[in-house]
């Protein structure tokens, strides 16, 4: 028999014949437990016999260690956030590069060229030309601009205008006709 069995009385339930004259016996009530609800307060000056430090010093050391752990945890969280931000930046760069490869940008459509100036070349010399536009006469030299076109060449038979890769030749006019293009 175990030593615990000697301390705790064991009861065996004996079946009692149940008839109308006897009432069933209630189960035994549990034994009350001993609890101490008083709080014990110890002065901060009491020394621990093993470490020879006071309880107040131990508390201060615990608080200090908790603060250090909290600071280290904050630092670890900030480092993690920094790594996450760097990864997001790298991911955005990769997405941009991938998007540029899969969807190349379309070349910009050039701005439409302005129409060829509607001018009449009245007279031409070796350095200038006399033109008439909207009833006004004007002397133009090589390099002058007419409605976005640049005068590039003076010839005895007319003038040449250039805009980007396009050229227009306006012949010397002897009447009301307007110059053509080449």
Q: What is the spatial distance between Cα 181 and Cα 32, in angstroms, rounded to a whole number?
A: 118
Q: How does pLDDT run across 142-158, given as a tens digit for each residue? A: 999 988 899 999 999 99
Is 115 buried (19+), middle (13-18) or exposed (0-12) by CB count in 10 A? exposed
Q: Does residue 182 surpass a pLDDT of 50? A: no
Q: Average pLDDT in the 75-104 region?
A: 90
The gap from C-alpha 118 to its chain's centroid, in whole angstroms, comes to 54
* Tally of CB atoms within 10 A around 181: 10
User: Quick one: the chain helix, strand, coil %, rounded to 5?
Assistant: 30, 25, 50
Q: SS3 for 52?
A: coil
Q: Which range, 32-46, 53-67, 80-94, is most confident?
A: 80-94
- pTM to 2 decimals? 0.37
């Amino acid at each position: 028999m175990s030593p615990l069995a000697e301390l705790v009385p064991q009861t065996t339930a004996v079946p009692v014949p149940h008839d109308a004259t006897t009432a069933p016996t209630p189960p035994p009530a549990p034994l009350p437990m001993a609890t101490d609800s008083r709080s014990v307060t110890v002065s901060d000056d009491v020394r621990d016999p093993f470490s020879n430090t006071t309880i107040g010093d131990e508390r201060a050391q615990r608080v200090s260690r908790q603060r250090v752990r909290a600071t280290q945890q904050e630092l670890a969280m900030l480092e993690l956030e920094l790594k996450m931000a760097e990864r997001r930046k790298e991911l955005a760069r990769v997405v941009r590069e991938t998007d540029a490869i899969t969807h190349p940008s379309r070349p910009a459509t050039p701005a439409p060229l302005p129409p060829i100036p509607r001018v009449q070349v009245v007279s031409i010399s070796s350095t200038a030309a006399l033109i008439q536009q909207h009833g006004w006469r004007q002397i133009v030299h090589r390099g002058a601009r007419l409605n976005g076109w640049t005068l590039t060449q003076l010839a005895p038979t007319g003038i040449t205008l250039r805009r980007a890769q396009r050229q227009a030749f306006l012949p010397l006019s002897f009447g009301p006709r307007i110059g053509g293009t080449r």
